[in-house]
Amino acid sequence: MNIPYIGITDFTNFRQVEEMLSVFNTKKSVSVQRSLHVGVMMSQKTLNGIETKWSKAFPPNDFIAEIFSSKETMNCLHYADYENINLEENLTKAIAFGGEGINAIQLDMTWPCPRHIENALANNPGKNIEVILQVGKAAIAEARESPKNIVDYLMNYQNIATYVLLDLSLGQGKELNSEFLIPFIDAITDWTKFNVSVAGGLGPNEEDMNLLKPIIEKYPQVSFDAQGKLRKSRNALDPIEWDLAEKYLIRSLELVR
């Protein structure tokens, strides 16, 4: 079983990583076995220099390796492409930009081709990379919102992905619905060996983290990630407000203690 993580997504420089890692190490109880997930965003367009509204929000490709400088963190590149364009070629390039420090990649995609993922990993030899497969709104809809169907789909990734991320928010701060997600977690836990992660509307306030309580009470090893609510504007184009990220991190560690 891999160590579960507490995630923050939208780091843009290494100084931010150092600050959050300091909070994480200071506030973490010795009984808490969690890693800090450092999430950096990239899209198919930003990878290939195609102008997009995200071009100024995501860090330049050449900055990513430096952001992944820490050996204490889960350094995860979030690669977004819901059109699945040239997956093997683009994913190979994306992983390369992570440098030596990248040790995880999250696929913000809808049921991407398993063979193309395998080939992209093989094209980056010497890197031990955990794959987080996002299962978002479109992926769940394609599976007809059936936990059994989700498990059937996931069987195609059983030798590729380590984590399955259930995320209906997609970085927009939409509230996590534990009642809806728990049957999916039940099925994934009962019938597969994937680690489970969740995201959606988590943030610095107590009510944000209370959304997660029913899941953590039943599945203490579930990982989770926050993004949208780590800025007051709720606009993903704005930078993270790191005082809010710190509060979220402290509340997260209290929740899993």
Task: For residue range 228-254, list pLDDT tens digits in order.
Answer: 999 998 888 999 999 999 999 999 999
In this structure, the chain runs to a length of 257
Decide if 183 contacts 214 (C-beta within 8 A): no
Q: State the CATH number of the domain containing residue 102.
A: 3.20.20.70
* DSSP helix/strand/coil, 51: coil
Closest CA to 249 of 68, 4, 23, 19: 23
Range of the structural domain that residue 222 is part of: 5-256
Q: How far is CA 36 from CA 25, 41, 223, in A?
A: 9, 16, 10
d(CA 166, CA 79): 16
User: Global pTM?
Assistant: 0.95
pLDDT score, position 172? 47
Number of folded domains in the chain? Answer: 1
pLDDT score, position 170? 56
Question: Taking residues 59-72, what's their average pLDDT?
Answer: 97
Task: For residue range 17-57, list pLDDT tens digits in order.
Answer: 999 999 999 998 877 889 999 999 999 999 999 999 999 99
Mean predicted lDDT score pLDDT of the chain: 94
